[in-house]
Chain A
Amino acid sequence: MKEDPIGAEAAASIAGAPVSLDDAAAEAGRLLARNRQPLIAGLGADIDGARAAIALAQRVGGVIDHMHSAAVLRDLDSMRETGAMLTTLGEARVRADVVLLVGDGLIEAWPDLSERLLRPPARPEGVDVERRIVWLAPQADARLPGFDRDIEIVAAGVGATLAANLAALRANVKGRPVARTGIPQAALDALAAVVKGARFGVAVWTASQLGALEIEMLNGLVRDLNDTTRFSTLPLVAPDNSAGVLAACGWTTGLPMRTGFGGGGPLHDPWRFDAERLVASGETDCVLWISAFGAASPIWPTALDVIALCEPTAQFAEPPHVRIAVGRPGVDHDAVMHSADVGTLVAATASRRSGAPSVAQALERIDACLAEADAPSC
């Protein structure tokens, strides 16, 4: 992996007019230095970009949040309240004899899911794993592309919620009487028998589609199942390197995103440092928006100073005051990111190397300009 020089194609603008990267960085530095509670949001960046963003936030006494924090923190909250049992895709693929898919959005969260999990790889010698895949579906006519022929669907009846069904399943597994369920009693008994009979079961979901209560119920169900057998969970991670950014926040600050540095040390408060809330309440008037993986961008109030480090094609309802086009990690430049396939941080070599600056490089320019805040230009 190498550090690329920033090329001539670096595109930057101030108030819509093209400027040099240095001028854009100087203007960004000026805005960040001037504001009392700058917000670094989006955080769609590789590990080096996340490290640079966290360092910058510490420097300016700002706040860091990730565009998928809500989903990330739903999983994390359940773990840090009551605990969790987790496994990796590799172990699930090789070992799982029961896969319990839960809720909606699985294929959207991970298009390769069926290819990776549908069948276990053959053992070169010895007994192959026989896999049973059950989907606790959001409704009866739901479809899960890629799994069509190989899946058993247990769906909620009319009016029942996934949370209620999970509660009924957990109670049934524990041997407790269940008076009312959204699933016919026979189907509930059968499902409970499947998960209890697993040798190594894995529950799969995406927090973007589940509520906190459902996730807590799933974690509790899995804990209970481990009293007698082995069962684990594989929560699918949200995109835009959210899991990688979470890890980097963890080792650099001890805390996840939605952390502010205004008080000297890092302070984590999922409500107070929610980017959307900070913007809506007017508690921040300067946003540094980072999104290197995709063109999506929020709609900002016009009173806000917005600095955007974004894909060249990103569209904004209101053009950001400062805009710097950054390269896509792993495409325009080498990058370390969380890999859903491996379940940890992995280095990716640039597939179409370009001179576009990385998020880290752009932030380092801005940081250098902060150092010369009193100077007339950077």
Chain B
Amino acid sequence: MLTHIKGARILDPANGRDETGDLWIRDDRIVATPQNGAHPGETLDASGLIAMAGGIDIHSHIAGANVNTARLLLPEYHRAHVRRPAETPLSQVGWTTFETGRLYAEMGFTTVVEPAVSPHNALHAHLELADTPIIDKAILTLLGNDDFVLGLMRSGEGASAICDHVAWTLETTRALGVKVVNPGGVAAFKDNIRSFSFDDVVPYYGVTSRAIVKALQRAVHEAGAPHPLHVHCNNLGLPGNFETALATIAAAEDLPLHLAHLQFYGYGKEGPQGFSSAAPQLAEAVNAAKTVTVDVGQVMFGQTVTISSDVLRQFGARGQARPKKYAIIDGDSNGGGIVPFEYRGGSFHNAVQFAVGLELFLLINDPWRVFFTTDHPNGAPFTTYPDLFALLMDKDLRAEWISRLPKEALAVTTLSSLTREYTFNDIATMTRAAPAKLLGLSDRGHLGVGARADVALYRPGKDVSQMFREAAAVFKDGELVVRDGKVTHDRYGRALHVTPVVEASMQRRMREYYDERYGLQSDFMRVAEGAVGRPHPFGTVACAS
């Protein structure tokens, strides 16, 4: 089928395009303007609308065992969500898989990465993703706190064994990339270590966090996964932790490295409360380190629940749980911590966190290396993105928000002095072009001929937030799925994964390892195509050769 999108302002930074024009879709692809005489099956008058490629979220906790535990831990919020959608706590989190896919689509997002799946729980995560409609999705698989990788490092087996294991894990769990969470710190917590920094040593294994990051960074690169190692640094949330992030950034050296939710590492110890913004120092380091990419993990005010595989950190935050309950799971390799939390605008600490996120957005100068996340739902639900876009595009709106924050908090940040305003082109780069490049998804993030026909159309207006909250129309794989901010057609997308070459020796070794140590067959982790219960649930992404 041929579809004609007529007269939109086409914002396609990947192809250097910002002009009024037409888009043509044939089946699931963008095609060139057909020869005279072609009759589109559907024509959409898009005059006055802005067209962008479908949005891509590189880091959002939308599926898997920990997310599901959070759902079951907080039934009261779900009930509130169903009954009174607009005004209640967590009303916008997109609590079920079905709601998650639809809410993303309504904002014009068509690809979302669940960034923290323990290999043991890969099938569970894929089952949830299979029940997440409309959008495409992917998982990052967790390594670096597991006995196998730490054991390889302890015995000094070297880079090639770790690379083989990374390839085996990516292939077995159908992941797009690898994430490491509090490298070594989660393993150390099982030995009752209560704080863990970049050069601390994991008991028994004798390896540092730094060594784990370096080893996995190289292994992921050599396995050919397009997405670089995705790092959740040590010391999340603690005053003075910007130094941990600085050390991690410096350790990246000449290979690519992605640092997740940098806002949570942007804290100094200055000021009367010993808590201050260190965003300027971090932004300066990111600006200088060309191999490093970051996402922000912006905090927005309201009730949420923090869901993290950083068990050490979540245990440390248990006293701040609101409501007062939490789940701490010492799982295989990682596990998780689920701690409900409410960010309050009147709180000194929360206001500093809010400011740090915006400072990072405004001070990091390359839109290809900094990404939109709220670390959903840890900083805020993903449904707050439209408000965040609006804040970054309008310094007056920002001033209005700032005027309501505690003065003492603003005094330890530079936010009030920042006047930069994002353009639509910045937003399109950071939510479309750059994420596609970062994840190695060459068929999306742009609107050139041959691209996947994931297209979001927005109706610009005075209220930027409203514009991004309710897309005027959204196409996924060429199918019209959203009109006027509401899903009109349900469909199911795919989970994207890489298929690196796996050495037979590693297959054998993993079988022996699981048999001896756990009395299990290593096959239990394998995500079979037919196991997730939907037709064509997967799509592959090419590895570098």
Set A47, A250, A266, A342: member contacting B68, Cβ < 8 A: A250
State how many angstroms separate the Cβ of A63 from the closest Cβ of chain B: 16
B190-A230 in contact (CB<8A): yes
Name the interface residues of A1-54: CB closer than 8 Å to any CB of B: 1-3, 47-48, 51
Contact with A along B75-112 (1 / 0, CB 8 A): 10011011100000000000111100000000000000
B519-A346 in contact (CB<8A): no
B78-A255 in contact (CB<8A): yes
B330-A199 in contact (CB<8A): no
State how many angstroms separate the Cβ of B73 from the closest Cβ of chain A: 5
Bound-complex Cα distance A51 to B130 (A): 12
- The verdict on B325 contacting chain A, using a C-beta distance below 8 Å, is yes
Residues of B near A267 (CB, < 8 A) are 79, 82
- The verdict on B41 contacting chain A, using a C-beta distance below 8 Å, is no
- The verdict on B517 contacting chain A, using a C-beta distance below 8 Å, is yes
Set B72, B74, B147, B518: member contacting A246, Cβ < 8 A: B72
Known: A48-B533, A86-B329. A125 touches B72 (CB 8 A): no
Contact with A along B306-329 (1 / 0, CB 8 A): 000000000100100100111111
B72-A76 in contact (CB<8A): yes
- The verdict on A352 contacting chain B, using a C-beta distance below 8 Å, is no
The prevalent SS among residues of A at the interface is mixed
Residues of A near B81 (CB, < 8 A) are 254
State how many angstroms separate the Cβ of B125 from the closest Cβ of chain A: 9
Name the interface residues of A67-110: CB closer than 8 Å to any CB of B: 76, 79-88, 90-91, 93-95
B325-A80 in contact (CB<8A): yes
Bound-complex Cα distance A266 to B78 (A): 9
Bound-complex Cα distance A268 to B72 (A): 11
A230, A254, A267: most-surrounded residue (chain B CB, <10 A):
A254
B71-A250 in contact (CB<8A): yes
Residues of B near A94 (CB, < 8 A) are 147, 517-518
A226-B315 in contact (CB<8A): yes
Residue of B nearest to A92 (CB): B330
Bound-complex Cα distance A250 to B73 (A): 10
Contact with A along B503-521 (1 / 0, CB 8 A): 0000000000000111110
The prevalent SS among residues of B at the interface is helix
Residues of B near A124 (CB, < 8 A) are 151
Residues of B near A79 (CB, < 8 A) are 72-73, 325, 327
- The verdict on B386 contacting chain A, using a C-beta distance below 8 Å, is no
State how many angstroms separate the Cβ of A221 from the closest Cβ of chain B: 14
B329-A199 in contact (CB<8A): no
Bound-complex Cα distance A94 to B67 (A): 26
Known: A95-B190, A251-B128. A256 touches B120 (CB 8 A): no
Set A86, A252, A266, A344: member contacting B82, Cβ < 8 A: A266
Set A80, A232, A247, A265: member contacting B124, Cβ < 8 A: A247
A90-B332 in contact (CB<8A): yes
A1-B528 in contact (CB<8A): yes
- The verdict on A253 contacting chain B, using a C-beta distance below 8 Å, is yes
Residues of B near A182 (CB, < 8 A) are none
Task: Choose the segment among A137-145, A310-318, A320-328, A333-341 that binds chain B (4+ C-beta atoms closer than 8 Å).
Answer: A333-341
A121-B516 in contact (CB<8A): yes
Residue of A nearest to B73 (CB): A80
State how many angstroms separate the Cβ of A188 from the closest Cβ of chain B: 24
State how many angstroms separate the Cβ of B327 from the closest Cβ of chain A: 5
- The verdict on B345 contacting chain A, using a C-beta distance below 8 Å, is no
Residues of B near A248 (CB, < 8 A) are 127
Residues of B near A127 (CB, < 8 A) are 204
Residues of B near A334 (CB, < 8 A) are 530-531
Residues of B near A344 (CB, < 8 A) are 65, 120-121, 123-124
Residue of A nearest to B337 (CB): A85
- The verdict on B396 contacting chain A, using a C-beta distance below 8 Å, is no
B155-A232 in contact (CB<8A): no
- The verdict on B157 contacting chain A, using a C-beta distance below 8 Å, is no
- The verdict on B191 contacting chain A, using a C-beta distance below 8 Å, is yes
Bound-complex Cα distance A346 to B124 (A): 8
- The verdict on A368 contacting chain B, using a C-beta distance below 8 Å, is no
- The verdict on A116 contacting chain B, using a C-beta distance below 8 Å, is yes
State how many angstroms separate the Cβ of B191 from the closest Cβ of chain A: 7
Bound-complex Cα distance A254 to B96 (A): 5
Residue of B nearest to A126 (CB): B204
State how many angstroms separate the Cβ of B518 from the closest Cβ of chain A: 5
Set A51, A88, A199, A246: member contacting B191, Cβ < 8 A: A199
B67, B155, B331: most-surrounded residue (chain A CB, <10 A):
B331
Name the interface residues of B108-147: CB closer than 8 Å to any CB of A: 120-121, 123-124, 127-128, 131, 147
Residues of B near A226 (CB, < 8 A) are 315, 328
Name the interface residues of B267-289: CB closer than 8 Å to any CB of A: none
- The verdict on B524 contacting chain A, using a C-beta distance below 8 Å, is yes
State how many angstroms separate the Cβ of A142 from the closest Cβ of chain B: 27
B96-A253 in contact (CB<8A): yes
Known: A85-B328, A91-B331, A344-B120. A80 touches B75 (CB 8 A): yes
Set A1, A47, A251, A345: member contacting B96, Cβ < 8 A: A251
State how many angstroms separate the Cβ of B274 from the closest Cβ of chain A: 24
Given contacts A85-B329, A336-B531, 4 further A-B contacts (CB under 8 A): A226-B315, A267-B79, A346-B524, A347-B531
Q: List 22 A-B contacts (CB under 8 A).
A: A1-B531, A2-B530, A80-B73, A80-B75, A83-B321, A85-B330, A86-B328, A90-B518, A91-B331, A93-B519, A94-B518, A247-B65, A247-B68, A248-B127, A250-B71, A251-B127, A254-B81, A334-B531, A342-B524, A344-B65, A344-B124, A347-B528
